[in-house]
Each structure stands twice: as structure tokens, then as C-alpha cells.
């Protein structure tokens, strides 16, 4: 069994996901190819839901982590709601069959058009991050003759101890309403006729591997709930955001069950056990459910380094280039022979185009590598740089294999472009 990925295992020399040999899937569908385990996603959702049993709750999958329609469908069927951040995500999640009454709309820069779209769809709640956003939402709601349910995203000013690019709960971040302005902002919201205050939320960052930051943030949020209710404004739900980390390498993050238990215990201790609890997990629901398969093209020994040049690149998987993220690499079929240390790199014309550095691999051209823990923030962050088609996506589910997204047709990449007629 590989770190954090219970459905990924070697059978004989073959790396398999839910029993399906990945090298065979690579041959069948071509590379680069994302492959996801549906059972791994269901199990991850269950971990949250089991711990929440008997409590009023909603697990809103943060779909920015992986927004393939079949992934959304899987979570909708598992009873989850969704955390969205754009009109595009709203369209997608409705296309997957989600119930808008289970959708919360986050994000620091919602446009008028997005507000309108979400009000007409009747989403459950807007997570609002500033006074100007409250004012705009109020205007849009009044113009449509609707009332917008709002939660204020507060910035609890705790250090999540994670990468600076994915840390969001500190004072210097663009996110949320400062703790010391939150009460005044709630008072302002309560004066606006187009809004109805329903909740409070926070999100302190991503890939957090300790429990303490979540509990510290919750304490700060509950302090505010008490102050806001003392001012006569009712708060129905508390949304603790997402952020629980996964094992990429040697991390040992708490499991979702532990995290939820501790959050519930703290709510109870502080006399808030009656409130509905919302969570917005992304990575911990999908990260370890997926791999990216890529074929070795060339081995290029160089003076300082050996390069293993593969057919996936930074446009397919941006996390290493953007965050210097470490992602596991495994040969799909084990072979004998001496291992060498390689940087695994793509064909894109950038030095930042690498997927893994200094890895010991026994490989030859034509072999297939699996980049592990690529279920979250991988395909959703893919692009078409160098006019490269984004990968296809496959979902395995027991003995079934489903192609859930086709590889970009090369000509589709310029289908919306126009030559100038002169």
C-alpha cells in the first residue's frame, strides 16, 4: 500500500488502482491520463459523514479541487453539498445533478452576474468577504426581488503552518473580514433589506497536517458568534472551511474522523453543539484518489543531472512548478536493472517544467510512470500552454472503467479564435 492511498497497490509487479493495472489503462486510453478511484472518493466522504452522524451538518465538497462531472456526481450521490467559487462552477455542479440548496458560494471577487446567477439558482448561502461585497449583493438581490442568505467569512488570524501560497487565515491575506471588524460588518449586514444573515465561516488554508490550527480558528469564530448574537443577530450555522491535508510523502495528517470529532467536542464544550456544522473539504476528499499516468519519452543523461523526459508537463500538473510541491512517482511496471536518479521533466519550454526532482527510478523509454496523489488541484489547474491538449480522465469503480473526460481535441484549442478578414 502506498502513502495515504488505500486503493492503490502493487499486484505482482503492476501498480493497480482498485485492482486495475495502470499500465493497461495507459495503453487503452493513452497518456497523459488522470485515473481516479470512485471508491476512494466515497470512502473519504464517509469518513467525514460517519463522524458527523446524528448532528446537523453539511459536507460541502470544495469542487475547485476536482470538478469533473463524474466526481461531482459521486459526491452528490454520497449526500454532499458543494463549495463553489465561480459561475462556471455553479453551472458545472448543476449539470452534475447537485441540489442548489446544498451549495455555498465562496470567493473574494464575485461579480454581479455571478451573484445574479446564484440567486436565481437559489443557492444555500453566499460566503461574503467584505462590506462592498455585502452592499453589491444586497443591490443585486433587491433588483431581483430575492433575499440573499449570507455568511461572513472571517479571518481568524491563526497560522495554519502551511505553504505561504495556500495559507489564508493570517492578517496579511486578502481573504475574509478581519476579526476586529467582524461585529461591525454583521451589524451592517443586518441593516440591508436584501440580505439575511444565516452563518459564519472561515477557511485558514490548505494542506494543514495538525489539528491545533483548526481548533484555534474555531475558538476565535465562536468568540465572534457570541458577540454577534449578543448584538441580536442570529447565526444558524458555523462553517469551518476546508484545509485538512493528505499524505503526499511522510506527512501524517489527522484523519477526517478525528478532525470532526475534535471540532464537535469543542462546539459542545463551548455550548454551541446545537448549531449546524458545515465543512468545505476539497483535497482530503479527492487528493489520494487519483494518479496522473505519463509515458517516458527519453532518458537524457546530463553533466549535473539525469533527466527523465515524459509526455506530461506543467500544463497538465502545475503543483510542482507553482508550489515546489513534492508528489510521489512510481513506475507502473517494475523492471529489473540498475536504478538511476532522475529529474522527471516535461516537454514544455520552461525550466519550471518539472514534475519531480532527484528520484531513484528504474525506467526505460516507453515505460509508464504514475504521479501519485494527483486527484486534487491537478486536472482542475491544467491548461493548454504550448497548445497542449489537457489529459483525458478515467474513473475506475469496482470492475468498471469509465472514460469521464476525453482528451482535448487539438483543433478545439483554437475553435473560438478568428482570423482577421483583411
Of 81, 281, 290, 320, the residue at the interface with ligand LLP (CB under 6 A) is 281
Question: What pairing do the DSSP bridges indicate for beta strands 125-128 and 329-331?
Answer: unpaired
Q: Which residues contact 291 (CB under 8 A, 6 or more apart)?
A: 8, 17, 22, 34, 35, 370, 371, 372, 373, 374, 375
Q: Is 83 in the site for ligand LLP (CB under 6 A)?
A: yes
Using the rule CB under 6 A, give the single segment among 225-233, 254-262, 275-283, 362-370 that binds ligand LLP: 275-283
In the complex, the smallest distance separating the C-beta of residue 312 from ligand LLP, rounded to whole angstroms, is 16
Kindly state the smallest distance separating residue 240's Cβ from ligand LLP, in Å: 10
The CB density around residue 271, as the number of other CB atoms within 10 Å, is 10
Instruction: Considering the complex, state which of residue 23 and residue 155 has its C-beta at the smaller distance from ligand LLP.
Output: 155
Cβ-defined contacts of 382-388 (< 8 Å, 24+): 382/315, 382/316, 382/317, 382/318, 383/315, 383/318, 384/315, 384/408, 384/413, 385/313, 385/314, 385/315, 385/348, 386/313, 386/315, 386/347, 386/348, 386/349, 387/413, 387/414, 388/313, 388/315, 388/316, 388/348
The CA-CA-CA angle for residues 224, 230, 231, to 5°, reads 95
The answer to the question of residue 242 lying near ligand LLP (CB under 6 A) is yes
Stretch that binds ligand LLP, among 13-21, 215-223, 230-238, 279-287 (CB under 6 A): 279-287
How near is the Cβ of 16 to ligand LLP at its closest, in Å?
Answer: 26
| 246 binds ligand LLP per the rule CB under 6 A | no
DSSP 170-238: STTSSSSEEGGGHHHHHHHHHT-TTEEEEEEE---BSSB--SHHHHHHHHHHHHHHHHHHHTT----EE
The residue range among 72-80, 276-284, 335-343, 382-390 that interacts with ligand LLP, by the rule CB under 6 A, is: 276-284
Instruction: Tell whether residue 263 is a contact of ligand LLP (CB under 6 A).
Output: no
Shortest distance, CB of residue 394 to ligand LLP, whole angstroms?
21
Active site residue 80: no
Residue 47 binds ligand LLP, judged by CB under 6 A: no
Task: By CB under 6 A, tell whether 241 contacts ligand LLP.
Answer: yes
Rule CB under 6 A: say whether 284 interacts with ligand LLP: yes
- Specify the residue, 78 or 363, whose C-beta has the smaller distance to ligand LLP: 78
Tell me: does residue 374 bind ligand LLP (CB under 6 A).
no
Q: 371 and 356 in contact (C-beta within 8 Å)?
A: yes
User: Which CA distances in Å does 112 have to 144, 290, 295?
Assistant: 12, 35, 44
Grid cell, residue 43, equals 470512502
Task: Report the candidate in 294, 334, 300 with the shortest Cα–Cα distance to residue 315.
Answer: 294
**Under rule CB under 6 A, residue 65 binds ligand LLP:** yes
Residue 114 binding ligand LLP, by CB under 6 A? no
Nearer to ligand LLP, 138 or 206 (CB): 206
Instruction: Decide: is 377 part of the binding site for ligand LLP (CB under 6 A).
Output: yes
Residue carrying C-alpha cell 539525469: 306
- Shorter beta-carbon distance to ligand LLP: residue 323 or 326: 323
Q: How many residues bind ligand LLP (CB under 6 A)?
A: 20
Q: Is 280 in the site for ligand LLP (CB under 6 A)?
A: yes
- Compute the least distance from the CB of residue 98 to ligand LLP, in Å: 16
Q: Give the Cα separation of 125 and 235 in Å (integer).
A: 13
The least distance separating ligand LLP from the CB of residue 88, rounded to whole angstroms, comes to: 16
In angstroms, rounded to a whole number, what is the distance separating the alpha carbons of residues 226 and 222? 6
User: Which lies closer to ligand LLP via its Cβ, residue 213 or residue 281?
Assistant: 281
Burial annotation 312-337 (CB, 10 A radius, 16+ → b, else e): bbbbbbbbbbeeebbbbbbbbbeeee
**Catalytic annotation, pick one of 60, 125, 332, 349:** 349
Does residue 67 touch ligand LLP according to CB under 6 A?
Answer: no
**Cβ 162 to ligand LLP shortest distance, Å:** 9
Kindly give the pairing relationship between strand 57-62 and strand 276-279.
Answer: parallel
- Among residue numbers 199 through 228, which ones bind ligand LLP (CB under 6 A)? 203, 206-207
Q: Under the rule (CB under 6 A), what is the footprint of ligand LLP?
A: 62, 65, 83, 106, 166, 203, 206-207, 241-244, 280-284, 319, 323, 377
Q: Catalytic residue numbers?
A: 349
Amino acid at each position: 500500500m502506498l502513502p495515504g492511498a488505500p486503493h492503490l497497490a502493487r499486484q505482482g509487479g503492476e501498480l493497480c488502482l482498485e485492482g486495475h493495472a495502470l499500465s493497461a489503462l495507459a495503453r487503452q486510453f493513452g497518456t497523459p491520463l488522470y485515473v481516479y478511484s470512485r471508491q476512494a472518493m466515497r470512502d473519504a466522504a464517509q469518513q467525514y459523514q460517519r463522524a458527523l452522524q446524528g448532528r446537523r451538518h453539511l459536507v460541502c465538497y470544495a469542487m475547485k479541487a476536482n470538478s469533473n462531472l463524474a466526481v461531482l456526481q459521486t459526491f452528490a450521490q454520497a449526500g454532499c453539498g458543494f463549495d463553489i467559487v465561480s459561475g462556471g462552477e455553479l453551472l458545472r455542479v448543476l449539470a452534475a445533478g447537485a441540489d442548489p440548496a446544498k451549495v455555498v458560494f465562496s470567493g473574494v471577487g464575485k461579480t454581479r452576474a455571478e451573484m445574479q446567477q446564484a440567486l436565481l439558482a437559489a443557492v444555500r448561502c453566499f460566503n461574503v468577504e467584505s462590506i462592498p461585497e455585502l452592499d453589491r449583493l444586497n443591490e443585486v438581490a433587491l433588483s431581483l426581488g430575492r433575499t440573499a442568505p449570507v455568511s461572513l467569512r472571517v479571518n481568524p488570524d491563526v497560522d495554519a503552518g502551511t505553504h505561504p501560497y495556500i495559507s489564508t487565515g493570517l492578517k496579511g491575506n486578502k481573504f475574509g473580514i478581519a476579526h476586529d471588524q467582524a461585529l461591525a460588518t454583521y451589524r451592517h449586514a443586518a441593516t440591508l433589506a436584501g440580505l439575511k444573515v444565516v452563518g459564519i465561516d472561515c477557511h485558514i488554508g490548505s494542506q494543514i497536517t495538525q489539528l491545533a490550527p483548526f481548533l484555534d480558528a474555531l475558538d476565535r469564530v465562536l468568540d465572534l458568534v457570541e458577540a454577534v448574537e449578543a448584538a441580536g443577530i442570529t447565526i444558524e450555522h458555523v462553517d469551518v472551511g476546508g484545509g485538512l491535508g493528505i499524505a503526499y510523502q511522510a506527512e501524517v495528517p489527522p484523519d477526517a474522523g478525528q478532525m470532526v470529532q475534535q471540532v464537535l467536542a469543542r462546539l459542545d464544550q463551548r455550548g454551541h453543539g446545537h448549531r449546524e456544522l458545515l465543512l468545505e473539504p476539497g483535497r482530503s476528499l479527492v487528493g489520494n484518489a487519483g494518479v496522473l499516468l505519463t509515458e517516458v519519452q527519453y532518458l537524457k543523461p546530463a553533466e549535473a543531472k539525469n533527466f527523465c523526459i515524459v509526455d506530461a508537463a506543467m500544463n497538465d500538473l502545475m503543483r510542482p512548478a507553482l508550489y515546489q510541491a513534492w508528489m510521489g512517482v512510481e513506475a507502473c511496471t517494475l523492471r529489473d536493472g540498475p536504478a538511476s536518479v532522475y529529474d522527471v521533466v516535461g516537454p514544455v519550454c520552461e525550466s519550471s517544467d518539472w514534475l519531480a526532482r532527484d528520484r531513484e527510478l528504474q525506467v526505460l523509454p516507453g515505460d509508464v510512470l504514475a504521479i501519485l496523489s494527483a486527484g486534487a488541484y491537478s486536472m482542475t489547474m491544467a491548461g493548454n500552454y504550448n497548445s497542449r491538449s489537457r489529459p483525458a480522465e478515467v474513473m475506475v469503480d469496482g470492475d468498471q472503467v469509465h472514460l469521464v473526460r476525453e482528451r482535448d481535441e487539438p483543433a478545439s484549442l483554437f475553435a473560438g479564435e478568428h482570423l482577421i478578414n483583411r
